[in-house]
């Protein structure tokens, strides 16, 4: 007999309370194995793949892509005994669709279910099942071959729970169909050419490159006509939709009033777009407000001649030992910051407001602020003080690449001690950076420009940059902050100091 198990959204180890469904990797009807990726979720810090805790067949998907789901809420149902090998005999339709909450409660919260993640005991949350209104004309396959509402007759003669795509489509009255051929489109809404309404509550089938193309072109995938197998949206579908939509958009929103955001709700006059704050942007806002209004910020500045550092960068780029890594001025600035913190370990601390204690860290986890399509994230390099220059270059490259791909792990985002932000990459001279919560210092590294500079009593063109160090004045007084910044400047002015202090 079928054995339906609900997979509830787990806490993946970062104090998660909710997450957004980013992309489903399975569809209704797919056969899955243990540890196979079911879904990719977007948390406030990163993208995380969730593996299947059981082997079986996906019978119901309970959350759509783009939907925010609280921890503990069921997101998918898996039949762990699709062949009926555990026990012979049929199961009444009412029993097949109802008891998933009770039968899987213990399994979902047990320690051996959430493969690869920590578990968290929590009360079982009841989910309100969507049901089509009476007389709404639900699809025949949702009503079931036996005529019993809320069930569907499977190929082996056993009823299975109703599919989300069919239920949502019937409730919305869109007249949409559901894919039935193969696992690619089964249980998902298939876009049609006359379906112009936004379908935010129904999953849209499209591969990641197609989704990126749609985002770049400002195309809403939920209104694109799908021509791919199983109702999947292809690259050609997106391009064709963009070409058809362009004249209409220009006519409706001429000139500067044309919407440029891919997502959001455009006002009736077309002059404003409202976008819901979520995921990385929301977490960044919360963290910055908490930091700005909790830690008293002080920022000190220093203008530095970095000509020798620029010459060193050029030499290292030609050095065979550094041929496999990217050498940049940021690398030298990061190394200089690590050396300065080692010389003044009092700055490597955090303020414990609850205990009214200062916590000094005997390690340096160097945060690197990275701008990504999802917003600003600050992963950190663990034990950066133990890395030589080549190892530090490798770590920076891996960290930034992973961040831009949205694959940063929760562990990489926690326990940072000091951060560097490269505002110079945007051509900005300097700024007053806000501390990451739990840290006491952050260095802004400005743009490097060739400027007239007094060198050996003569005005010469030199490479010059500006540094700005913000620190928590509860922990760091002005003298300590100034000494740290001065040491960073000394290393960048004369990289030989790295040998002396290293």
- Out of 141, 163, 191, pick the residue that ends a domain: 191
- Out of 276, 297, 314, pick the residue that ends a domain: 276
- The predicted-structure confidence for 181-220, as pLDDT tens digits, reads as follows 333 333 333 333 343 334 433 467 887 778 877 877 778 8
Q: What are phi and psi of 138, to 5 degrees?
A: -65, 150
* Tokens read off for 167: 């239920």
pLDDT score, position 356: 82
Cβ atoms within 10 Å of 182's Cβ, excluding its own? 12
Which residue matches tokens 């999953």?
Answer: 203
Does the global pTM surpass 0.75? no
Q: Is the dihedral of CA 406, 208, 26, 124 positive or negative?
A: positive
pLDDT score, position 259: 55
Contacts of 216 (CB under 8 A, 6+ apart): none
Which residue matches tokens 């909450």?
Answer: 101
Active-site residue flag, 344: no
Residue 421 counted as domain residue: yes
pLDDT score, position 182: 36
Distance CA 181, CA 497 (A): 68
Residues 182 and 215 in one domain: no
Q: Domain residues for 363? A: 281-501
Residues 401 and 467 in one domain: yes
Residue 200 counted as domain residue: no
Lowest mean pLDDT segment, chosen from 46-60, 232-246, 442-456: 232-246
- Three-state SS for 240? helix
Q: Which residue has the higher pLDDT, 279 or 386?
A: 386
**pLDDT tier for residue 326 given thresholds of 50, 70 and 90:** very high
Residues 17 and 119 in one domain: yes
Residues 399 and 436 in one domain: yes
* Tokens read off for 490: 């000394």
pLDDT value at 397 more than 80: yes
pLDDT score, position 377: 84
Catalytic residue among 302, 344, 390, 473: 473
Residues 96 and 182 in one domain: yes
Residue 356 counted as domain residue: yes
- The predicted-structure confidence for 461-484, as pLDDT tens digits, reads as follows 999 999 999 999 988 999 999 999
Nearest partner of 223 among 250, 207, 244, judged by Cα: 244
pLDDT score, position 283: 66
Residues 409 and 497 in one domain: yes
Residues 453 and 307 in one domain: yes
**pLDDT tier for residue 291 given thresholds of 50, 70 and 90:** confident
Mean pLDDT, rounded, for 75-88: 79
Residues 255 and 363 in one domain: no
Q: What are phi and psi of 406, to 5 degrees?
A: 75, 20
Tally the domains of the chain. Answer: 3
Distance CA 374, CA 7 (A): 27
pLDDT score, position 127: 36
- The predicted-structure confidence for 1-41, as pLDDT tens digits, reads as follows 678 899 999 887 656 788 888 889 999 999 999 989 999 88
Mean pLDDT, rounded, for 397-413: 85
- Out of 276, 300, 321, pick the residue that ends a domain: 276
Residue 197 counted as domain residue: no
Which residue matches tokens 């950190």?
Answer: 380
Residues 341 and 251 in one domain: no
pLDDT value at 306 more than 80: yes
Residue 201 counted as domain residue: no
Residues 10 and 90 in one domain: yes
Q: What is the largest CA-CA distance in the chain?
A: 96
Residues 40 and 160 in one domain: yes
Distance CA 449, CA 262 (A): 36
**pLDDT tier for residue 436 given thresholds of 50, 70 and 90:** confident
- Judging by beta carbons within 10 Å of its beta carbon (0-12, 13-18, 19+), is residue 290 exposed, middle or buried? middle
Distance CA 432, CA 434 (A): 7
The CATH number of whichever domain residue 147 belongs to comes to 2.40.50.100
Q: What percent of the chain has pLDDT over 70?
A: 67
- The predicted-structure confidence for 211-270, as pLDDT tens digits, reads as follows 877 877 778 888 888 888 878 888 888 887 776 654 333 333 344 555 555 567 777 777
Residue 198 counted as domain residue: no
**pLDDT tier for residue 488 given thresholds of 50, 70 and 90:** very high
Residues 450 and 404 in one domain: yes
pLDDT score, position 353: 81
- The predicted-structure confidence for 334-382, as pLDDT tens digits, reads as follows 999 999 999 999 999 998 888 888 899 999 999 999 887 777 888 999 9
pLDDT value at 305 more than 90: yes
Residue 297 counted as domain residue: yes
Residue 385 counted as domain residue: yes
């Amino acid at each position: 007999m079928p054995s339906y198990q609900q997979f509830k959204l787990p806490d993946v180890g970062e104090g998660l309370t909710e997450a957004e469904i980013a992309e489903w990797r399975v569809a209704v009807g797919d056969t899955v194995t243990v540890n196979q990726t079911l879904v990719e979720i977007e948390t406030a810090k990163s993208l995380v793949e969730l593996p299947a805790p059981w082997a079986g067949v996906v019978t119901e998907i309970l959350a759509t892509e783009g939907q925010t789901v609280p921890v503990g809420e069921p997101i998918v149902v898996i039949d762990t005994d699709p062949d009926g090998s555990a026990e012979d005999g049929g199961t009444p339709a009412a029993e097949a669709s109802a008891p998933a909450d009770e039968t899987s409660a213990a399994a979902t919260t047990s320690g051996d279910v959430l493969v690869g993640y920590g578990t968290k005991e929590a009360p079982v949350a009841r989910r309100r099942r969507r049901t089509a209104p009476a007389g709404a004309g639900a699809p025949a396959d949702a009503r079931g071959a036996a005529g019993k509402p809320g069930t569907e007759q499977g190929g082996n003669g056993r009823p299975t729970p109703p599919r989300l795509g069919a239920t949502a489509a019937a409730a919305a009255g869109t007249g949409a169909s559901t894919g039935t051929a193969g696992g690619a489109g089964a249980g998902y809404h298939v876009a049609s050419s006359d379906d112009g309404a936004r379908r935010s509550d129904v999953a849209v089938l499209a591969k990641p490159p197609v989704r990126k193309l749609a985002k770049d072109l400002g195309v809403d995938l939920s209104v694109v006509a799908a021509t791919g197998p199983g109702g999947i949206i292809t690259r050609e579908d997106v391009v064709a939709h963009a070409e058809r939509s362009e004249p209409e958009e220009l006519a409706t929103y001429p000139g500067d009033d044309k919407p440029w955001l891919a997502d959001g709700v455009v006002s009736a006059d077309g002059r404003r777009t409202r976008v819901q704050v979520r995921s990385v942007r929301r977490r960044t806002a919360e963290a910055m407000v908490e930091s700005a209004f909790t830690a008293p910020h002080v920022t000190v500045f220093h203008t530095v001649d970095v000509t020798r550092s620029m010459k060193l960068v050029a030499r290292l780029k030609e050095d065979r030992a550094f041929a496999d890594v990217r050498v940049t001025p940021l690398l030298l600035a990061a190394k200089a910051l690590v050396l300065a913190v080692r010389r003044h370990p009092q700055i490597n601390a955090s303020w414990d407001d609850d205990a009214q204690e200062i916590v000094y860290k005997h390690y340096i986890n160097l945060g690197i602020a990275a701008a990504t399509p999802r917003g600003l994230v600050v992963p950190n390099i663990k034990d950066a003080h133990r890395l030589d220059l080549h190892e530090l270059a490798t770590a920076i490259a891996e960290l930034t690449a992973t961040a831009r791909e949205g694959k940063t792990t929760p562990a990489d985002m926690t326990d940072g001690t000091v951060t560097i932000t490269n505002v110079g990459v945007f051509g900005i001279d300097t700024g007053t950076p806000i501390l990451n919560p739990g840290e006491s210092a952050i260095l802004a590294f400005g743009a490097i420009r060739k400027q007239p500079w007094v060198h050996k009593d003569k005005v010469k063109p030199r490479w010059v940059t500006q540094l700005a160090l913000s620190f928590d004045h509860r922990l760091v007084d002005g003298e300590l902050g100034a000494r740290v910044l001065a040491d960073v400047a000394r290393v960048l002015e004369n990289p030989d100091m790295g040998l002396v202090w290293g």
